[in-house]
Structure formats: C-alpha cells, structure tokens
Chain A
Amino acid sequence: MSSLTLGPLLFHWTPARRRDFYARIADEAPVACVYLGEVVCSKREAWFSKDLPAIAERLRRAGKQVVFSTPALITTEREAAAVRARCDAGDLIEVNDLACVQLLQGHRFVAGPLLNVFNEGALAVLLRLGAVRIGVPVELPAAAIATLARHNSSGETEVFAFGRQPLAIAQRCYHARAHDLHKDDCRFVCGEDTDGLPATQLDGGPLLAVNGTQTLTHGHVVLLDALAGLAAAGVSHFRLSPHAIDMVAVATIYRAVLDGATAAEEGLARLREIAGSIAFINGYLRGQAGMNWRPARERGEALKTMPA
C-alpha cells in the first residue's frame, strides 16, 4: 500500500499561517509522513524555527512520521551547524545536498528529490551510505522511475506527485531581484507570494515561478492518473508539495484515488474544481517537456512503466 507524504513547505509563509497549516494537516490530512524544515533559504529559518518542535510533536501525536528536510544548497558554516545539530538530535533527515551525508556519520537518511539519483549506480551509492528512502528527480520519466524502484532494496521510492516542481536552485535571489533588491538586503519579499512569484512570457503566457533562490514550474504537477501504474511499478511514497490550495482536500483526493475508491478521472475532475486557475502539468513523467499536460485519454491507458 503506497503512502502519501507532505513535502517540506518551500514558500515563506508567516509563522501563524504555518502553525495553522500543520495543525490542520495533523488533524485532517491522510498523509503518513510530513517533511518539515527549510529547503530554499536559510535566512528564513529564524522566522519559524522556534515553532518546529511543537509542530513536529503534534504531527507525531497524530501518528505521522516526521522527517526534517535540509537545505538544497549548503555553503555557509551556519547552515552546516544547523544541519549538524539536527543530525546530533537523532531526527530522521532528508538530504538535499550531499554535504549533509558528511555530517550524518552513518545514520540513516532520506535521499531527497533534489539529489541527482538518475540511475541504479547512484542509487546503490546512496543505499550504501544509509539511505532508507529515495526521492527521485522530478525530471525522470515513468520507465526510469520503475527501473529505480526495482533496484531500490530499501523498498521506499518517493515520487513528487503534486505541486510546482522545483526546477533549479541558485545563490542569487530572484525574488529580491524582481523587487530591485539584493539577497543580503531582501526584506523577505518572498513572503508576499504564498505559492511563488509567477514569471510569464512577454506576451503573458505561463512560464515559471520563482521562490527566492529557487525556480519552480508554473504549472502544478498532477499525477492522479499515474498513481496506480507507479504504485504497481514499486513506488511506495507520493509527495504532495504544500501550496495555498486546500491541501487537506488535495490529500483526500489523492488518497481516494490511491485506494481505488475514486477513479482517476473523477479525482482529476474534483481536483480541477478546487484548483481554480492553476494549470496542471505532467510532461516529465511521459518523457516530454515538463510543462506539457496530457492526462490519460481513456480509462486504463498504460504509462510506460516497464523498467528499461
């Protein structure tokens, strides 16, 4: 039986909004695991780090596994020290920069989707180092995911299944740049955009979203019609990335489709109802441009999940 996870919140929400969000997730969302912690910009941590222990405790009381996500890019002593403290505390860590592995000293960890695990050779290295779950890169097509799942002796393979897909990370802050500011004096303008700042084509067509130093897809990846095929191919965990949309409702739809209680087409229709103007995408899974959207045309249309 596959599980749903709630990925780390990628955006800079206010502390109050975070607390309310996770309280509701703890009480209502059918997710088995919640990732907490700042992945994008360590400057944001001071805003909410004091709330994390209580949030984690509440999620655990609700029966959820809690994993602490770590930065996509670790360059400063302060960032390394924060990760070291998290490792020393014995929490399960999601590694998003291999610098982390050096701090784990053999402890088990989750290999996050921002690591480049594109093939079974890289997978074997991470398993040897202590990975107990492998998040695969968002760029991978279904057949490659199936190949990795088949080789993954940890038994836990996670796919990014809902939300804006992370496409790139940088040192430069594009949010600050869009406001004519610099990263060192950013005024936390990224907090103005709960789902990221849209960047459109010059004619207004959809393009990308920026979130501080991170660049995301414009559309939200939606894999409802691929869940059954991926689960059959060995994917054990499906990640929902937090957005301003009602995430309890999103998780409920995904859970119902995973359980076979709701058909994928019906799940898509229900998601469409609550998604407003959000564009859906799924191109990467089909080996196409990531921004494409083509839902399964008919019931039972098979994805190419035969291992390569």
Chain B
Amino acid sequence: MTDRYLELVCPAGTPAALRAAVDAGADSVYCGFRDSTNARNYPGLNFDPDELRAGVAYAHARGCRVFVAVNTFARAGDPGPWHRAIDAAADCGADAVILADLGALDYAARHHPGLRRHLSVQAAAASALAIRFYQEAFGISRVVLPRVLSVEDVAALIGKIDIEAEVFAFGSFGTMVEGRCFLSSYFTGRSPSCDGVCAPAEHVTYREEDGGLTVRLGAAMMNRFAPGEPGAYPTPCKGRFLARGRPTYLFDEPEALNVVSVLAPLKAAGVTALKIEGRQRGRAYVSKVVAAFRQILDRQAAGAPLPPDVAAELRALAEGGRETLGAYAKGWR
C-alpha cells in the first residue's frame, strides 16, 4: 500500500458491487451485514457471512482489503447482533471492522484484539483530543474523519495524531455531524444511528398537487417541485423549507461531494485513504466511480495531468448533477 498515492476505499453494498469495485481498481472495499448493525440497512443490500467470506476471498486474491462496517449504535438490551457481526467479520477474514458505538468498540477491543479497528465517521471524532480518546481506550488504527472539516482543519488535525486518517472523497453527504443527527427519526421514527437508515423509502410519498410534485417524509413536506424542475430525494438535510418567510435549502442544496480538485492538498495534509460513499448504489455506478478515481490517482501519482473527460464523467454521476467541496472549502460554514 505504501506505493499508492492515496489508498482508494470503495463501497460494496452487494457481492456484485464488491467484485465490480475490486475489478475497477479499489485498494480496499467496505461492506456490512444484512441487518441494522450497519448504516446502510436498505432492502436488497448487504452481505450474509457466507457472502462476506466469498467476497473476502475474491478481494484478497486480487490484493484488495475488506473492511466491515458495524457502525450503528446497538439497541439497549440487545447487543447480540452487534457482537455477532464483529465476530463474523473476524471469522470471515475481514481486514478491519469500522465501528462507532462505544459498546461495540469495547467488545471488539476485548474479544478481537488482533482485528484492526477503524473509527467510523458515525463516531464523529472531529478533534485530535477525541481521536486520542478512541485510540487510548480502544486501540483504533484509523479514523474516518467527519465531513465537517476544511482541508486546513484536516491538515492541522492529522499533524496532532499518529494513526491513519481516511476522508470522504465522493458521493452523497449530509450537512450534520454524522452519527449525531436525528432528523430522519423525527419524521419517520427510524434513524441512521439506531436503524442504519436515513429517510427510508417506505416513508417517502410523492404526490402531484397544486400544479407541482410534492414530496413528503412521513407526514412532513420536504420539498415541492415545479413542473420541469428536477426532483431530489427527500433527505431531511437536503429539503427545501420556509425560513424567515423564504423558501430555501436551509441546510444544503441537493449536491454531491467531490474532492478531485483538492487531492494534492489532502495528500500533503497526510491523509492515508480516500473513501467513496455509496453502498446503496448499483454495480454500474460503483464501477464507473472507482475506475475514474483509480485513473485520477494513478495520474496524480505519476505527476500527469487529469483527463478532462474523467472529471466530466464524475460530475454526471453526482447527485443532482452538482458537485461541491462541502466543508473542505473555506466559507462553506
């Protein structure tokens, strides 16, 4: 891994997506089990232990590592599924588990001390102090940084820690600190933290009314689109609301993160790995995004210019066809 410009960590929502990511040039893939122990607990996604074992074999045979996300918060009185997920990840030969819950971290550190522990973005460790806390308490080897830091913040933070840092590079992103947002459950009763779902589809309704398309999450209107206006999924932090009497995307516009324009500063900041978001995405999407990033990183490593068509392809894949640097850019706050 040391000869890589930056390690490319790619989403594998299904066994097919795992193979697609590996084939397209992922250095590592991450996936989860088919239950509420992971933060992409959507129908038709995820792995059972046998599928994970086969996925690990496929990846390892091609020099790719597999991380298993067990990154929701265990239910009170019912930690068994979280413990079993960690046991199964170890048993299947995963290279690391990605954890957020203090209880799950504690369990993994005690029962599987030899299994690498990565701190999930859901733990929202946004400072050197917080990261050192998790390092000393649970021996984490890597932190996935919250999407609330500027490139300058990332550089300053990495200078104060001595474990690996992984940052989000591409895909959907919320504007709230991860793992600490209850908006989805406020409207639906189900949350990313506990159920592994944000704005679950069974709570979404679209209706033609007043000459436009209204979209609701639970009972609450998240947006209304005029005829011809492109729609967007009603993730609560991407909704359009009235504030001070004005309709506004109060939290953030529907747009996707893309860090291609700041790869060199992120590398200089000491970042170890780039994470592509999107375990809920299909095999074709994963294939395209991973291949594009593979090409970009290899060019970057060789000091070669980036091919313009690759940048255009990524933009076309972005949510709403719009890209942003999010919090990485100064002034986003």
Contact = CB atoms under 8 A, between A and B. Distances in A.
Interface of A: 72-75, 80, 97-103, 114, 116-126, 129, 137-140, 143-145, 147-148, 165, 167-174, 177-179, 182-184, 197-205, 207-208, 210, 215, 217, 283-284, 287-291, 307-308
Contacts of B248: 178
A182 B176 contact: no
A199 B240 CA distance: 10
B218 interface: yes
Interface string B186-208: 11110101100000000000000
Contacts of A287: 189
A171 B79 CA distance: 32
Nearest to B134: A98
Contacts of B132: 102
B176 A125 contact: no
A226 B241 CA distance: 32
A202 B224 contact: yes
Contact of A167 (B182, B221, B241): B182
A104 B218 CA distance: 42
B243 A116 contact: no
A212 B150 CA distance: 19
A291 B187 contact: yes
Contacts of B318: none
B3 interface: no
B240 A202 contact: yes
A114 B75 contact: no
Interface string B313-333: 000000000000001000111
- The 8 closest A-B CB pairs, nearest first, are A121-B103, A308-B77, A99-B129, A122-B102, A183-B333, A144-B76, A118-B73, A99-B130
Interface in B284-333: 327, 331-333
Given A125-B103, A203-B221, A207-B220, A169 B177 contact: yes
A202 B241 contact: yes
A144 B77 contact: yes
Contacts of B250: 174, 177-178, 199, 210
Nearest to B176: A168
A167 B183 contact: yes
30 contacts: A72-B180, A73-B126, A75-B127, A98-B125, A98-B134, A101-B133, A116-B101, A118-B74, A119-B77, A119-B78, A121-B102, A139-B182, A139-B191, A139-B193, A144-B77, A165-B182, A167-B181, A169-B177, A170-B148, A199-B250, A200-B243, A202-B224, A202-B241, A208-B241, A210-B250, A215-B251, A289-B186, A289-B218, A290-B185, A291-B186
B186 A125 contact: no
Given A75-B126, A144-B76, A172-B332, A205 B102 contact: no
Interface in B218-254: 218-221, 223-224, 237, 240-244, 247-248, 250-252
B242 A118 contact: no
B87 interface: no
Contact of A125 (B125, B137, B149): B137
B221 A217 contact: no
Contact of B177 (A170, A183, A198, A290): A170
Given A75-B153, A199-B242, A288-B189, A147 B182 contact: no
B177 A148 contact: no
Interface residues of B, number: 66
A202 B223 contact: yes
Nearest to A178: B243
Contact of A97 (B130, B148, B244, B331): B130
B89 interface: no
Contacts of A140: 76
B279 to A, nearest CB: 21
A120 B77 contact: yes
B107 interface: yes
A176 to B, nearest CB: 8
B251 A174 contact: yes
A119 B194 CA distance: 10
Contacts of B242: 199-202, 204
B156 to A, nearest CB: 9
Contacts of A204: 242
A122 B73 contact: yes
Contact of B175 (A117, A145, A172, A217): A172
B77 to A, nearest CB: 3
A116 B148 contact: no
Given A102-B132, A126-B102, A139-B185, A178 B244 contact: yes
B8 interface: no
B245 to A, nearest CB: 9
A75 B98 CA distance: 22
A168 B180 contact: yes
Given A172-B175, A291-B220, A122 B103 contact: yes
A118 to B, nearest CB: 4
Nearest to B241: A199
A215 B241 CA distance: 13
A208 to B, nearest CB: 7
Contact of A119 (B75, B186, B244, B332): B75
Interface in B60-86: 73-79
A127 B136 CA distance: 16
Given A75-B148, A171-B148, A124 B106 contact: yes
